[in-house]
Structure 1
């Protein structure tokens, strides 16, 4: 996906690339989904594998995997009665690497954001 700087100023709901970018970042904004994506970056896994590794309920992991699949970020490969999930697009790894670079460059600024900062940042601000 390419974000055209001319279209970034368009109003929401106009069908521009901005809407797609919002959907992409929203799909990655949940910590569990992001952890699943990071795990799948290391190789394919079944929901049962993710349940054990993430220490979450099967229904929770399944719902997050379904969300990522519906967004086209994850794909399933059936093998018998099992489904092995993997990342659909290797470009997603580039996005995550860029995010890590940006986070390193901004230091605690994002974590301290009053709207979206982490709970651990609360203690830093106090």
Structure 2
């Protein structure tokens, strides 16, 4: 995958890319998939069982997560196994959980998002 040097972009474009990065985790199905993959590799069927979404939803969201660099895959026999592509994703989720724990009620009640 070709890397984009954000330093060469204007601040508006950088801001849009950062917002899109966080938007990648804003979909509940995508978030559940990423969370499920923190502990182990899984195939689509295992993810369907783990998060309770349909196979088409999981496949569609995995495609998005893979395209944007959150997850990667490898083939093992007849299965494609997915995993977190970068350990920093784990760190981001851990930090988010800590912030949410401190602000859960305000976030839950927010009507501006």
The unaligned stretches of length 5 or more in structure 2 are: 1-5
After superposing on structure 2, the runs of 4+ consecutive aligned residues of structure 1 that deviate more than 6 Å are none
Corresponding residue to 2:79 among 79, 82, 89: 82
SS class of match (2:107): coil
Structure-2 separation of matches of 1:39 and 1:21: 23
Under a length normalisation based on structure 1, what TM-score does the superposition of the two structures give?
Answer: 0.77
- 1:104: which partner in 2? 101
- 2:25 matched to 1:28? yes
Which one has the largest radius of gyration?
Answer: 1
Q: How big is the shift at 1:51?
A: 1.0
Higher helix share: 2
The unaligned stretches of length 5 or more in structure 1 are: 117-126
Structure-2 separation of matches of 1:107 and 1:90: 25
Number of aligned residue pairs: give it. Answer: 106
Q: Is the 8 A contact 2:29 2:53 kept in 1?
A: no
Q: Is the 8 A contact 2:70 2:84 kept in 1?
A: yes
Under a length normalisation based on structure 2, what TM-score does the superposition of the two structures give?
Answer: 0.85
